[in-house]
């Protein structure tokens, strides 16, 4: 893998890991996406077809170096999330960085798209945190808890994402790796709750009507500051600070 910004050099594995460390901040939300060159984030409804070997390296670093992995319920269901299952490389990396052995999943839902028997709840090795609002049906909240979830209520009509991020940080889960989807990303942007965008541009063209990285209500445009750019076999890996 080669760095082309801010410097120009070939990177060893340890140097890529160092580049993708979360900063020492009270809380930090990094959002990860892979996109085709023409802006699509899925092929036939899933992101896997766009991923490249370089993307899988940085995607894994996001998981491995985070305290918690944040995801929308629709993405969790579509992608078949079952929680983190660290292999020995991940376990060693997390031990070396002083992190808990397994990062929990925090899944955001209004309630409609997350059944109590969702694999992200029932198959997770550590309790999944369900982030929802007071408007979610109390019976459904009880069912999530009975299935093993830790239910975090933030907001009234819909989940208050700024409050949810602050609540996660108060629990010591300050390094937050968000893996989408696009509606969650847009909502986080609207709440001024995103610090960093990690975007892999996959060397593919998709066309069609696939979604893009952020979809939802319009926001005041956010300016980005490029932090780093890497290339590997025609994949472009970008890190932006959200201003």
CATH for 151? 3.40.430.10
Half-sphere exposure of 230 (CA within 13 A, CB side): 22
180 in any annotated domain: yes
What number is the average pLDDT over the span 100-116? Answer: 95
3-state secondary structure of 109: coil
Give the C-alpha separation, 206 to 128, whole Å: 34
Give the C-alpha separation, 147 to 158, whole Å: 22
143 in any annotated domain: yes
Chain-centre distance for alpha carbon 152: 18
Which residues lie below 8 Å from residue 103, measured CB to CB, with a gap of 6+?
63, 66, 67, 68, 69, 84, 94, 177
4 in any annotated domain: no
Confidence band of 164 (pLDDT split at 50, 70, 90): very high
Distance between the two ends of the chain, CA-based, in angstroms?
Answer: 27
Count of helices and strands (H, E) across the chain: 8, 11
83 in any annotated domain: yes
Tokens of 129: 């945190």
Question: Which of 151, 176, 180, 150 has the alpha carbon at shortest distance from 165?
Answer: 176
92 in any annotated domain: yes
| Number of structural domains found in the chain | 1
pLDDT of residue 44: 87
pTM above 0.75, yes or no: yes
Give the C-alpha separation, 82 to 127, whole Å: 11
Structural domain including 45 reads 25-242
Burial class of residue 184 in the structure, from the number of CB atoms within 10 Å of its CB (0-12 exposed, 13-18 middle, 19+ buried): buried
3-state secondary structure of 231: strand
224 in any annotated domain: yes
Chain-centre distance for alpha carbon 33: 8
Mean pLDDT of the chain: 96
Q: What is the pLDDT of residues 172-221, one digit of tens each?
A: 999 999 998 999 999 999 999 999 999 999 999 999 999 999 999 889 99
3-state secondary structure of 65: coil
pLDDT of residue 49: 92
59 in any annotated domain: yes
Give the C-alpha separation, 20 to 7, whole Å: 15
11 in any annotated domain: no
Beta-sheet strand order (sheet of 224-232): 9-10, 2-5, 224-232, 235-242, 196-202, 28-36, 175-178, 68-72, 105-108, 129-132, 150-153
pLDDT of residue 47: 86
Q: What is the pLDDT of residues 49-96, one digit of tens each?
A: 999 999 999 999 999 999 999 999 999 998 899 999 999 999 999 999
State the alpha helices, DSSP H only, in the chain. Answer: 13-19, 53-64, 73-78, 88-96, 119-122, 138-146, 161-170, 182-190
């Amino acid at each position: 893998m080669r760095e082309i910004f801010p410097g120009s050099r070939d990177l060893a594995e340890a140097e890529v890991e160092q580049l993708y460390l979360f900063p020492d901040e009270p809380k930090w939300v990094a959002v990860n996406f892979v996109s085709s060159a023409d802006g699509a984030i899925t092929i036939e409804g899933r992101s896997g077809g766009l991923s490249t070997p370089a993307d899988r390296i940085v995607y894994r670093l996001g998981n491995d170096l985070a305290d918690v992995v944040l995801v929308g319920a629709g993405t969790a269901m579509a992608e078949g999330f079952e929680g983190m299952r660290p292999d020995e490389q991940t376990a060693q990396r997390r031990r070396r960085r002083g992190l808990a052995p397994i990062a929990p999943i925090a899944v955001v839902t209004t309630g409609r798209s997350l059944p109590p028997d969702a694999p992200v709840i029932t198959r997770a090795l550590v309790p999944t945190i369900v982030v929802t609002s007071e408007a979610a049906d109390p019976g459904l909240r009880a069912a999530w808890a009975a299935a093993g979830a830790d239910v975090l209520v933030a907001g009234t009509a819909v989940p208050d994402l700024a409050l949810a991020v602050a609540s996660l940080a108060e629990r010591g889960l300050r390094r937050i790796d968000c893996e989408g989807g696009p509606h969650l990303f847009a909502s986080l942007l609207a709440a001024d709750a995103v610090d960093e965008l990690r975007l892999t541009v996959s060397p593919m063209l998709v066309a069609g009507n696939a979604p893009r990285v952020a979809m939802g209500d319009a926001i005041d445009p956010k300016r980005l500051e490029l932090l780093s750019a890497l290339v590997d076999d025609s994949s472009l890996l970008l890190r932006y600070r959200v201003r």
